[in-house]
Amino acid sequence: MAGVGKPSLSAQVRETAEMIKVSHSIFALPFAVAAASLGMAAAGGWSWRKLGWVVFCAVTARTAAMAQNRLVDARLDANNPRTAARALPAGRVTHRFVFGLVLATSALFVFGAGQLNRACLYLSPLALAVLLGYPYAKRFTSLCHVWLGVALGIAPVGAWVAVRGGLIDLTTPIVLATGVALWTAGFDLIYACQDARHDRSAGVFSLPGRWGVARSLRFARGMHALSVVALASLIALDPRLHWIYGVGLVVATAVLLYEHSIVSADDLSRVDLAFFTLNGIVALALGGAAAIDAWV
């Protein structure tokens, strides 16, 4: 950008915090805390140290993934009217700074995994490969939304392994991960509907770009229905989940129904509300209720 000086370090830090939206760790973090709580309850003991490192790993992994997504998509974002004003394509942060953030937070994630146990340390590169590989998925598959779902879905599995010390009794975390993955893929599909036309013209793979907005919204409804089924089945599978989790599930289901009621193929004006606010409520309702139920 001619005539514009290099942004200062403090300015880049502020812009990066906004760019990667650290507050949106709320999508995966409650489920990681829930899985850690259920895992510790199953093992018969609470550990603030383990929970602290689980939160540390969840936040650093999410930061690395979001920064990687913005870095890899910088050129696509610059050519998309909806995203051209983002910090990286607009030049308010540099590619070098964001690349450094990816490296630093990835290293911190591996370090945090090592503080938990050997299994977490050994599995951390695989988790990073899934997380950092997500932005490349839209270059070759319309199922990139499912990839993102898996990326968030591994959070509860990782948290369970962290507190149990290995791959032990994985039924609860795998079912929880399935529900989270389907929920995430569904709301990402809704969000992607905004860019259906751009995706087709830019050669970006996405379900809205391939099948259109109306059909994609039906896919999203189906994914969320299956997600509710998976999350509801946890009540029968895990004896630690009772009425508190049930209430959380009812609240989350109601919010998802409302989410789909405010978005249509003819009106995408409230996608941001559906994507950010409502799904934050879903995560807090389900993750918080499960965590509380684990110890009541």
Cα separation of 106 and 224, whole Å?
30
How many other C-beta atoms are found inside a 10 Å radius of the C-beta of residue 294? 24
Q: Give residue-wise pLDDT tens across range 110-125.
A: 999 999 999 999 999 9
Q: Under a CB-based contact definition with an 8 Å cutoff, are residues 195 and 82 in contact?
A: yes
Cα separation of 263 and 269, whole Å?
8
Residue carrying structure tokens 């110890």:
295
pLDDT of residue 1: 42
Structure-token pair, residue 228 = 């509710």
**C-alpha pair distances (Å), 132 with each of 153, 211, 225, 229, 252:** 14, 26, 28, 29, 29
Sign of torsion over alpha carbons 124, 130, 131, 136: positive
Residue 44 burial by Cβ neighbours in a 10 Å radius (0-12, 13-18, 19+): exposed
* Structural domains of the chain, ranges and CATH numbers in brackets: 20-293 (1.10.357.140)
pLDDT of residue 144: 96
Q: Under a CB-based contact definition with an 8 Å cutoff, are residues 130 and 151 in contact?
A: yes
pLDDT of residue 274: 80
Residue numbers of the chain with a pLDDT score lower than 70: 1-5, 14-25
Q: Give residue-wise pLDDT tens across range 249-291.
A: 999 999 999 999 999 999 999 998 888 889 999 999 999 999 9
Give phi and psi for 264, each to the nearest 5. Answer: -145, 170
Cα separation of 294 and 241, whole Å?
6
Q: Which amino acid is at 207?
A: L
How many other C-beta atoms are found inside a 10 Å radius of the C-beta of residue 118? 11
